[in-house]
Amino acid sequence: MELNIFNIKGEDTGRKATLNDDIFAIEPNDHAIYLDVRQHMANKRQGTHKAKERSEVTGSTRKLIRQKGGGGARRGDGNSPLLVGGGRIFGPKPRDYAFKLNKKVKLLARKSALAYKAKENAIVVLEDFTLDKPRTKDFIAITKSLHLEDKKVLVVFPETNKTVYLSARNLEKAKVIALSELNTYRILNNTDLVLTEASLTAIEKMFIKP
């Protein structure tokens, strides 16, 4: 698959970029995508939830009513979960939600996400560029020239480009990242993917092992 290479003014440079079929033309694996996105979301959870159980509630331990003959459940003291202000039965406790996922599954998931973007014609290839200084207006001009101003855009550089990152930081629908930050969730959570020529080459080196 070949795509035209554009410059930051939205003009066709006359050159073409070839997308590697081993990455962008594979049959997407939905289950691998599900697992990778699920792991990403799980790793973001703080897991700091906590509710007090019966033994942790402060209160008197005096038995309120007799054990039997009252017609109701055996309550015991005022810390009983059956009473208002009592502890909670099997309440949540702090825990780590992270889980392990094999590297090959994660790699397949990212390839599948890129393949979906290629099928949707949602990939734009830009010639390598940078900005002289951080300026949001300049970045907005680039998205307008590419007709992406109303879309959720993910721009990928091979390495951190601080100038462009700062230029897009205040924009709700734009995200600039380095290739090392690229994951399945970010690919699918944006409508269009903008790759520079250098980042496209770096993706092939990262995803295709010799």
Neighbouring CB atoms inside 10 A of 102's CB total 10
pLDDT score, position 167: 94
Half-sphere exposure of 182 (CA within 13 A, CB side): 26
pLDDT at 58: 92
Helix 103-119 / helix 30-44 crossing angle, nearest 10 deg: 110
Question: Does residue 77 contact residue 60 with C-beta atoms inside 8 Å?
Answer: yes
Length of the chain equals 210
Q: Which residues of the chain carry a pLDDT beneath 70?
A: 209-210
Mind listing the domains of the chain with CATH numbers? 2-27+109-207 (3.40.1370.10)
pLDDT for res 71: 86
Which residue's entry shows tokens 């059956």?
82
pTM: 0.83
Tokens of 107: 């790699």
